[in-house]
Chains A and B, each alone.
Chain A
Amino acid sequence: MIYVIDHKDSFTHNVVHQLSIYDEVECSDFNEINYSKLHKASTIVLSPGPGSPKDYPLTTKIYKKFKGKKKILGICLGFQQILFSEGGKIVEQNKIYHGFQSNVIVNKQSKLFKKGQIFKVGRYHSLKLREPFKAKNFDITMRCAISGSAMSIENNADKVYGFQFHPESFLTINGNTLIKKILSIK
């Protein structure tokens, strides 16, 4: 079972819909977590949402508690929440991407995707990761083809993954492939 923590976003149910193709999904607001179901879940997904990771201390707590014990996937805000919990700085960016389609490129750090592979993805983010970013076992594995900003992370030791873009958006081509890949990791 997959547990989606919703940060009251208007895209969360696209994520739920997409995940439901592959597994049973539970979804609740970040401040109304059903802990017994959360404990049963094999994968936790941190949803997109408004604001910045520091606005959601509860989610940070959950992330830290379950890191290494369950597979964790963060999308957009969820991606930033993982980085923030790992000591990363999340900052405003000069050029803001809302409803924007762009190309991201896989780099050689990735264990899941082929180096040089390009994905067309939908983006909705005001904030981004400030680099350099270093955390144990974490690699930045996809970058924006134009700006170079971090678009995906992998921590294959603890099974923590994240996308800054939205694999569930209709602007993302092959979004299902990306999600399937994460879910199929044993």
Chain B
Amino acid sequence: MIIYKVSGGYNIYTDFSKKIILTNKNINNFLNNFNKSKKKSETDMFIGFFGYEILCNLLGLKIKKQKKLNFYKGAFYKPETVIKIRKKISIFSKIKKQRFNSSFKATKILSPFKLNIDFKKYEKIFNVFSKKIRQGETYQIKICTKYKNKSDIDPINFFWKLMKVNASPEAFMIRDKNYSIVSCSPETLIDKKGLNILTKPIAGTLRKNKNLNKTKALSFFRRNIKETKEHNMIVDMERSDLSKICNPGSVKIIKEKTVEEYKDLYHYVTLIKGILKKSVKNIDIIKAMMPGGSVIGCPKISTLNLLNNQEKENRNIYTGSFGYMKFNGDMRFNIIIRSILNYKNTSEISVASGVVVDSNAKHEFNENYIKAKALIDLFK
């Protein structure tokens, strides 16, 4: 079963008739099968995710030997039933006799959370990357740390618990037989309808408190030079990514540096739109936009190479993308961050924060913990 947050509610996808496990061999073929037919019904789509590694491979980047879980590089599902939960509930299904079985598992924690990189190691990486910034090899780079424990979880239970504290706009859950993902991703990477495409990078997050409101949050972001510079960089990078696949002159900033308000936090976001060239295929869009720049750093290719040479552990789903592709070519994808991957009784939560010129190692290291905390709290 898959649940995906949409504006005004949730969609539940189930009764999967096909499951495609992505490999470097089949991904091109899989992606080329879209754009071909007209969408007929709500279930004419594939929904699933691309992991980080396969997105790097698509760009021709190889990842050196890493510690691996041997988890899927990506997986997509063809649903036969879509349940739309809004004010009313509507069900679209090709299945005649529905069988719902609901049983909740209790969370079992078999070992406490451990962080894969301590501050000493983090600081070392931080200093290496700071030097690379001074030398101009990267302008911004995100160091990833990972929390892991041994546990058995009920992802549906976790997901609704998470939605109570943070119903983020790109939240989702996947429950398959051998793994599950629970995510409160905030960022839309691709929203494509017909030839219209938009992306909504987030750079800048502020936790709510009693003294804050939207206006004050905006002036906080505007006054904060570090956040502003990080944000500018991401906006120019996303404009460039869109420009690869859009008509000249069509890439425009629709909303520049505005504040969006969520239950617990404010995000500093920009909305960028473009009109796709007619010749562009879904695979071109994915190669142009993924992995999403705001969680990697800039410029993308040299920064990805720096990260891939540095990181000892596979990122799995982290900084990949979850979403759907309809048979008519329309699609929506997020950036997978703030997520739990449970596989083979191991839960992992990856987080990252940015190194730019004026970053402070201790601050960024602690920021990583703050980002993971809401997810770690679900295990309590």
Spell out A's residues near B (CB within 8 Å): 8-14, 16-17, 20-21, 49-52, 77, 92, 96, 98-101, 122, 124-127, 166, 168-171
Contact = CB atoms under 8 A, between A and B. Distances in A.
Contacts of A13: 240-241, 243-244
B112 interface: no
Interface of A is mostly: mixed
Contacts, number: 103
Interface of B: 133-140, 228-233, 235-237, 239-241, 243-244, 246, 248-249, 251, 253, 256, 293, 298-302, 356-357
Given A99-B230, A170-B235, A10 B298 contact: yes
B240 A11 contact: yes
Contact of A20 (B232, B240, B249, B293): B249
Contacts of A51: 135-137, 302
Nearest to B239: A14
Contact of B233 (A16, A17, A92, A124): A124
Nearest to A17: B243
A10 B248 contact: no
Nearest to A55: B137
Contact of A96 (B231, B236, B243, B357): B357
A16 B248 CA distance: 8
B285 to A, nearest CB: 14
Nearest to A92: B134
Nearest to B252: A170
A29 to B, nearest CB: 10
Closest 8 CB pairs of A and B: A20-B248, A126-B136, A99-B229, A99-B232, A13-B243, A10-B299, A17-B243, A99-B233
B135 A98 contact: no
Nearest to A52: B136
A124 B228 CA distance: 13
A21 B135 contact: no
Contacts of B251: 17
